[in-house]
Structure 1
Amino acid sequence: MDLSKKEFIESIKNRNIGETEFLQAVSEVAETIIPYVKENPKYRNTKILERIAEPERVIIFRVPWLNDKGEVEVNRGFRVQMNSSIGPYKGGLRFHKSVNLSVLKFLAFEQIFKNSLTGLPMGAGKGGSDFDPKGKSDNEVMKFCQSFMTELYRHVGADIDIPAGDIGVGNREIGYLFGQYKRIKGEFTGVLTGKGSEWGGSQIRPEATGYGLIYFVEEILKLKKESLKHKKIVISGAGNVAQFAAEKCIELGAQVLTMSDSDGYIYDAEGITIEKLNFIKKLKNQNRGRIQEYANEYNCAFVEGKKPWEIACDIALPNATQNELNEADAKVLVKNGCYCIAEGANMPCTPEAIAVFNQNKVFYAPGKAANAGGVAVSGLEMSQNSLRYTWSREKVDKKLKGIMKDIHKVCVKYGKEENGFINYEKGANIGGFVKIAEAMLAQGLV
């Protein structure tokens, strides 16, 4: 690669005007990949990173639907098919008002490295809509999902592109989407993952991202000859990933102190127990309530309009959304003794925050490695669908734990520095890149 990091990033910026999230994701990867490419002659003069940063295909479409008042509403749908060098496109659908092309390209780009790290034959994609299910009736969500799939169906398939869930797309939405695909195509195939266990889904798929995150943290702690027992954990978010990360932490003897939503965070100094966590699950998954109700129920602190990074902890798990943890937050965490940050969300730490962690030799596990458990079990669901068979909960959990251990090994292999410190960001980027680059070079000019 003849371009310098600065020249490469500038060229990406000029080709993707205004796409700040996508530029941030590519820039972060370029920091470690470009030096590696220059050190390895076979990757030079192939423009391999330029090709990886360019989607193979972007689909944008109109989604008209009828609300409960009988009024026509129109949203925009997307599918970014990023890279198919090691398998069919694989990645979630996000339904949220913040969804735009930049956000989905950043997520699809991250997905390339994440899927590569799992060791499973999955390419990378991402999609969704600026539709927000929050506050909508089941009937409205169904009508939107049916309209969305009426266009999307022609671009996906069990051997082409297999979407899954993401923010705003849970079991309800996956059910409506799958039902419409089956209705149109007349096929019962593994076109979507995250399905219900009664109709082709995998055991522990809902738990997979949160559980996998904690399995990765366990591997980090083993380097210090430590375990999660009695560790103080600060978690942001209160959705699927946060809930099951908290569940696994509690199971392993850690003390979970916080959870949050867009209104603020709760701080339970006594620790969130399984009983209390079940209250949160019901509150969020069934009642669609706000996290403040937990504070009212259990008489603990609720801090309005803030994130939980000011609470002293051993381990911080940002599980909410991108760029939720900034430089100032990082400095407070380090000052208060936090020595491990593992991302359950995608790109929740800003570049400035990551720099603070690296400068202070704090273990920082990027989402493309630490939260890969979700897509890993999606890949296992694809395998089960192909076999027309369902594995037990214990078997899937064992496979998930093995995959997270293997991802950790790859990160250590490529991220170990001369002073012995493990730069997980560098390790995940290079480890994911090598497999993709080798596949693309072997397949010619793709």
Structure 2
Amino acid sequence: MSQTERHRIERLGHQGDGVAPGPVYVARALPGELVEGRRVGDRLEDMRIVEPSSDRVSPPCAHYRGCGGCALQHASDEFVAGWKLDVVRQALKAQGLDAEFRDVITSPAQSRRRAVIAARRTKKGAMAGFYGRGSDVITEIPNCRLLAPELVDALPLAEELARLGASRKGALAVTMTRTDNGLDVAVRGGKPVDTALRQDCATLAEAHGLARISWEDEALAMRLPPAQVFGGVPVSPPPGAFLQATREGEAALLACVEEITRGARRVADLFCGSGTFTLPLAARAEVHGVEAEPEMLAALDRGWRHGQGLRRVTTEARDLFRRPLMADELSRFDAVVIDPPRAGARAQTEALADAQVPVIAAVSCNPVSFARDAAVLVAAGYRLQWVQVVDQFRWSTHVELAAAFVLSHETGRASEGQGTA
């Protein structure tokens, strides 16, 4: 049996663990704390705090101890904001870069409008919630402080879906998204669709006032279009399509994108999804949206055609990892918005650097790939003017950001009228 050890925490790792010399990783410990526990490999288990940090707070959620949905509820908001800023700053420093940082914008509690809920059948019925940290055990979350109230209220719906369509061995992944017409529910990991399941899902949609319910991307019932509003334009994305996690986070990122591209008459929106940025930008510029998924582009196009007062929007289905827009294609644009997945977009960034587009608004969910791509642009003559960190995944280790890149001779123009995003 391992003996109790004491360790002083030096820093917070990228997964939110405290890190002591060794390294030794300690879940839910903070820098400066003296902790003790049993050493198991490179981890300290059964941790007890001997000397707490002044940044330690009481977790606001009663489920925090067992739930894996949040990682940093034990730390003050000020500490988390500073840590997330430093994560981005260190990623840039590793590439030899620096920038002006604006104050972090943090989404409020109970604002997550979309979440993947785990739902499993049990001997007594069913249960739904989040998996525990590093575990396949589901923690029920009836008083969750993270999710929007509509999602918390729909947890019994996820249990009903498990009773109807889950196997005894596996759990369902139930993605619930708040829309203007009720919840949009998409289920994965269940049994094959049959007549009985179709009927049951239609009944659930009516009983719970759902906008839509889908099973493995097939819409089984739709009462009303599952509308999201982008720039005042209703759009109904396909099941499971990408959406910013909170309205507040989306608004903060959009404000940055609009500021960076202000004055541009022709804008390319790369990895545009269903039009989060495309449609608001179309209020003052022609926009070309590029996205690999045709269904998302179709939703964007329908929204634009029904919108009022918008300038021309064109779309193109294209895998930008395999076939990035090249310099000759980019030369007609005054500004580019790029919002790639976590892997970043190295090839597309290199093409942007070659094209010398005057202004680039970069949105990212991964500071490391962002910094790598930023270095390509800076080496090509761009200035990384400022970075806005947006913490829309509150109490998690995820970091979102928007950043302004301008060519050296364009710096004056891009900085005119700058405000705080």
Normalising by the smaller structure, the TM-score range is 0.3 to 0.5
**Structure whose residues are more often helix by fraction:** 1
**Structure whose residues are more often strand by fraction:** 2
TM-score after normalising by structure 2: 0.36
